[in-house]
Amino acid sequence: MTDIESDIFWNNVRAVGLRLNRVMNHQKSINWFVMGQSRFGNKAPMDLLSEGRTEDVLKLIEELEGD
């Protein structure tokens, strides 16, 4: 991973974390971030981010915001 790719990855992680903390408390958000999601083949949101699938993670959070 290049420095630029690393910067983008960590910026995405921060953005997702900030967004997620609006929906649930810190401990729950950590658990959610590492828990497999059935609609993504039991991949955890952190795995999706590492694959560059930030939009998929943000869509999951949007669904939580709607609940």
What pLDDT does 57 receive? 94
Q: What average pLDDT does the segment 32-40 reach?
A: 90
What pLDDT does 55 receive? 93
Return the domain boundaries, the chain: 3-66
What pLDDT does 1 receive? 80
Percentage of residues in the chain having pLDDT higher than 70:
99
Q: Could you tell me what percentage of the chain is helix, strand and coil, using 3-state DSSP and rounding each to the nearest 5?
A: 75, 5, 20
Local structure of residue 37 (DSSP, 8 states): B
Prediction pTM value: 0.79
Strand partners, 37: 43
Decide: 45 and 16 in contact? Cβ < 8 Å.
Answer: yes
